[in-house]
Amino acid sequence: MACLWGLLLITSRGVLEWLTSLPSVSHSKNLWLLTLEAVHSDILLEGYCPLQDPPVADLMKAHKLLGYLKNVIHIGIDVTEGKLVEKDTSMWQLQGEPTVLITLAHIFNYFSPLLCKVYLVEDVLMTFLLSILERGGAVEAHPLIQQLLDLMWLLMEEYEVHECLKQLLMSLLRAYRFSPIIPDLGLQIHYLRLTIAVLKHEKSRKYLLSNVLFDVLRSVVFFYIKSPLRVEEAGLQELIPTTWWPNRFTKEGKENKEVKEESAEERLRRRAYERGCQRLKKRIEVVEGLQVQILKLLLNNKDRGGGEASRYIFLNKFRKFLQENASNRGNLTVLCPPEYMVCFLHRLIAALRSFWDGHKAKTPATVSSEEAYVPPQLFYNGKVDYFDLQRLGGLLSHLKKTLKDDLAAKANVLIDPAELQAVTMDDLDEDEESATSAAQSQRPSAALAIGGALARPGWLSSPTLGRANRFLSTAAVSLMNPRRPLGALEKIKVRTLSVEQRTEEDIEGSHGNEGLLLGKPPEEPDQPITENSLLEVLDGIIMMYNLSVHQQLGKMVGVSDDVNEYAMALKDTEEKISRCPKRRRDIHEELLKSQKVFSEKLNHLSRRLAWINVTIYSKEKMQDIYWLLRVCIRTIEHGDRTGSLFAFMPEFYLSVAMNSYSALKNYFSPVNSMEELPGYEETLMRLAAILAKHFADSRIVGTDIRDSLMQALASYVCYPHSLRAVERIPEEQRISMMKSLLAPYEQRPWAQTNWILVRLWRGCGFGYRYTRLPHLLKTKPEDASLPSLQKPCPSTLLQRHMADLLSSDRDLAPSFLNSVLNQLNWAFSEFIGMIQEIQQAAERLERNFVDSRQLKVCATCFDLSVSLLRVLEMTVTLAPEIFLDWNRPSSELLLRRLAQLLNQVLNRVTAERNLFDRVVNLRLPGLESVDHYPILVAVTGILVRLLVDTDAQGVEHATAVLLADPCFQLRSIQYLLGHAEPSALAAAAPATEKRRFSLHTYTDYISTEELVKVDKMLNHLSEESKQAAATTLPTSEEDLCPICYAHPISAIFRPCSHKSCKACINQHLMNNKDCFFCKATITGVDDFTKPASS
């Protein structure tokens, strides 16, 4: 009953605090408060007891026994004089005096059972150990704790020591995790110092590593610095008395480049705020230093006394930790929280680099941590387990099978052919147990060769992956002696070991065994890198960043965004206060209240932001992520040199390279700038080379990673500094990249490719110098930092490469343009079909809601149509001869197809009171980008280039083809300049005046020179269409092409002699060689002219 009352007290006290924090809004709330206060007073008067009563008897015994222990430590025996003397307890040592040992053994005989109880460990033992460290100084200055641990291992039963240490670490972790944040972080420092003191004891450290730190506890908590829930809790008001926030953004969310000069008051506030941030940073750095010390103890590889060194125990536990987090992505109870992972990553990087550079100092021939990378052989020699993580080339079992010859030739790694024949992928459909037992009964030698390695446990969620790993476990991997020629197949059987089975020798190697570096390819340099174990730690750090760290870095940016939002709201409110009329005191008072609320919120958020900037986005943390980016770049470069073996690299290396760059660019600014990092320009260029080479790499088969590479390259070319990095990569790589971008669009993701080409052109096209569409300028973008909202930054260098490729390669240009025209036809047709459905839904009498997904797809089809038109404009401008030089075999056909599509677009968009007009006027959410301007200026740019900006012969060809198209309407061209036909004007006269579209109204976006060219084009087409109408003879239906009924018959097929126009047969022959009519194979096409007699 007492426990029940205790629980009620705790619950009611929490509810009371919560209700007290709410504003007074109702009488019922006050009644609640009175009731709860009465309950509290009753409970306290009637006698409250906690949920667990302290074990009074055991506590009394434990304190007495601890007192006896202190007395023994405090008093020594003077052998010469035969009396007891007082000694300094801090320097006490167990020297083997029989009397002291017997006394201590007698004490521990009673004390040991008590030290297995968690209450006593926390209240007695931990308190005593903490009191030893309270005297100050470094942990090393208190050897008494090490002596006491020696004593425990000597005088207590092993199971008692194990339980005591487990409970001690659990108590320390709880205390560290739940202690309040005080200004100097003293409590956290206190508990970390005791943790270090315990882990300095070698035998205790190894036991805790093997059985407790990763198995029982979530020890990553020790490396986390929790953010205070309330600013007052951490004393941030005292540390940072003055708050400040930047006013960098306009109302539209764009970064304000024309920032007013900082006033003297603002400068003083900013400097005071920065000083407060520095004070906070120094205090947090103390905690971070202690956390790094813990990891250095766990990574110690010199403590080989009594078994395996700590580092190798840690490696196996760390790998299992990564496996749990990689394989249980949907199980939140198993996953380590991402905020813990962020801190763990930074501390692990600090400890790793310390050991790496320490090894470099002892062995100067090795690589420094600044040049660190993971060698490619780790990805295919089976020494490091990557669980079910995807490789660049697909499933590991498939790679082992298809690349076995390359493994033998380049890395001296052989897959036993007998094993590959015995265990094929077809066999893997059998039940796992029966397959395993059959393999062991039929192939005992194979089972012996792999050392009886167990099949991977049941955490594999995919049956396919389970079968694949079973396939791998039964495939014997062997290595040849590299000093002998490949003909002498003397194989050394190598076991595929699980994490638990690995030893130090398997990792570091010895006596000719290279350990983790087994199977070095010839492209790898002979220079040693570092200790092999550190390479595996580095690999794990990169995997950890991919699992959850990057996601958490992006999440914490939300606080900075909140500060910007409130800063804009406060600025807007202050402007309203200044404009508020004096007679409206009611409005003025409300505005003052709003100003107070926003100011208080900003004061709170700016202090919280200071904490986050120090713990997550500091300059040192930024340098860690930058170091990780450079490690990934070097690893990818080394892997790329191995040729086909590059396919074995896990996908997450490329993901981390892209994501870490994105984090540096988007998450750490404006506090820290990436441009200040050492070697920034070179790193940017090397990453650009990776993106340019691998976005179309045939060795990479995963759809997701290929899309990620494409998106990263598309984002890269949107920003001037990264685009210039692309331009600085070797010319051969630039040309290869452009050739990949110009590959035909069919049967591959082409939208991102098209987007990249458009970004290279944006800023050069007709009326294409805008950042945002004219009709969207008054609206606020959702995210002003999006790549699509960056200022145009065209690349004339890459445009020149594109022009050279299209002009020189006569097969590339037709296939590329044919695919672009096909996709344009599809995208615009889909768009028209969708807006028809949207219009029909809007006109129904009953209330209808258009599906937001349908609106989004509709807007996407429109944007794709515009971008494809811009790519056509780019092509016509850079290489007009592809369309206008009719000596090229496909020029006339391409020009006719282009004219047909342009006329269709113009007719659909410019018709009076048409479907497009009605949908645009609806202004539906989701269709904001659908407007006349973007699509009409793109079409106009193509027409101006064909009909004005070219030589006389080109103008003649383009004009003839455009006018010959049955869909051509001069009215559509007149629409561009706001002209209307007399009939249309007469019909519109009685109606309400409506503003007509005209390019002349967009003088901020279209230059005077461009408008003059449009006028010239309209005049030219008007004259030519009049002449064509006067000279065109009527054509009988018999003389028209039986396929399109738009052009006269002009081609005859061989050998069947059927006829059509040239446009139809040329387009047909691109995909099919059979006759339209008789299905005979067409061997040739001749010109056809109707005989004069007929």
Residues 605-619 have pLDDT tens digits of: 888 888 888 888 888
Q: Does 479 score more than 60 pLDDT?
A: no
pLDDT digits (tens, 9 = 90+) for 964-994: 877 788 888 888 887 765 544 444 444 444 5
Owner of token pair 């018959």: 1049
Other Cβ atoms closer than 10 A to 704? 10
Q: Does 774 score more than 50 pLDDT?
A: yes
Residue 1053 bridge partners (DSSP): 1085
What would you report as the CA-atom Rg of the chain, rounded to the nearest whole angstrom? 38
pLDDT digits (tens, 9 = 90+) for 199-258: 998 899 999 988 888 887 788 888 888 877 666 656 677 777 777 777 654 433 344 444
* Packing angle, helices 158-178 and 126-133, rounded to 10: 70
Q: Does 851 score more than 90 pLDDT?
A: no
Contacts of 529 (CB under 8 A, 6+ apart): 366, 367, 372, 373, 375, 535
Confidence at residue 297, expressed as pLDDT on a 0 to 100 scale: 92
pLDDT digits (tens, 9 = 90+) for 502-551: 777 767 777 666 778 888 888 888 888 888 889 999 999 999 999 888 88
CB 600 within 8 A of CB 608: no
Q: What percent of the chain has pLDDT over 90?
A: 19
**759 vs 1007: CA distance, rounded Å:** 20
Owner of token pair 């050998």: 1055
Write out the H or E segment, with its range, that includes residue 1087: strand 1084-1087
Contacts of 534 (CB under 8 A, 6+ apart): 352, 355, 356, 359
Backbone angles phi, psi at 530, to 5 degrees: -170, -170
Q: Which residue has the higher pLDDT, 439 or 924?
A: 924
Range with the largest mean pLDDT of 312-321, 739-748, 1066-1075:
312-321
Backbone angles phi, psi at 823, to 5 degrees: -70, -35
**203 vs 310: CA distance, rounded Å:** 10
Amino acid at 453: A
**1060 vs 1041: CA distance, rounded Å:** 5
Residue 839, CB half-sphere, CA atoms under 13 Å: how many?
15
Write out the H or E segment, with its range, that includes residue 859: helix 852-878
Q: Which residue has the higher pLDDT, 18 or 82?
A: 82
How, if at all, do strands 83-86 and 413-415 pair? unpaired
Closest of 674, 796, 618, 657 to residue 723, by C-alpha: 796
Closest of 815, 814, 856, 812 to residue 834, by C-alpha: 856
Two tokens, residue 744: 């035909």
Give the DSSP letter string of 1065-1083. HHHHHTT--B-TTT-PBP-
Confidence at residue 39, expressed as pLDDT on a 0 to 100 scale: 43
pLDDT digits (tens, 9 = 90+) for 1004-1038: 888 889 889 989 988 888 888 887 766 655 566 67
pLDDT digits (tens, 9 = 90+) for 942-951: 999 999 888 8
**623 vs 286: CA distance, rounded Å:** 19
Other Cβ atoms closer than 10 A to 282? 10
Confidence at residue 767, expressed as pLDDT on a 0 to 100 scale: 85
652: confidence class by pLDDT, cuts 50, 70, 90: very high
Give the DSSP letter string of 46-85. H----SS---HHHHHHHHHHHHHHHHHHHEEEETTTTEEE
Q: Does 195 score more than 60 pLDDT?
A: yes
**780 vs 801: CA distance, rounded Å:** 37
| Exposure letters 826-846 (e unless 16+ CB within 10 A, then b) | ebbebbbebbeebeeeeeeee
Other Cβ atoms closer than 10 A to 22? 9
Alpha helices by DSSP H, 134-263: 144-155, 158-178, 186-199, 202-211, 236-239
Residue 953, CB half-sphere, CA atoms under 13 Å: how many?
7
User: Could you give the C-alpha distances from 247 to 255, 260, 1060, in angstroms and in order?
Assistant: 9, 10, 68
**350 vs 370: CA distance, rounded Å:** 12
User: Could you give the C-alpha distances from 777 to 563, 772, 792, in angstroms and in order?
Assistant: 24, 7, 16
Q: Which residue has the higher pLDDT, 992 or 378?
A: 378
Secondary structure class of 781 (helix, strand, coil): coil
Alpha helices by DSSP H, 785-851: 796-808, 812-843
Write out the H or E segment, with its range, that includes residue 492: strand 491-494
CB 920 within 8 A of CB 931: yes
Confidence at residue 370, expressed as pLDDT on a 0 to 100 scale: 93
Residue 51 bridge partners (DSSP): none
Write out the H or E segment, with its range, that includes residue 918: helix 915-922
494: confidence class by pLDDT, cuts 50, 70, 90: very low
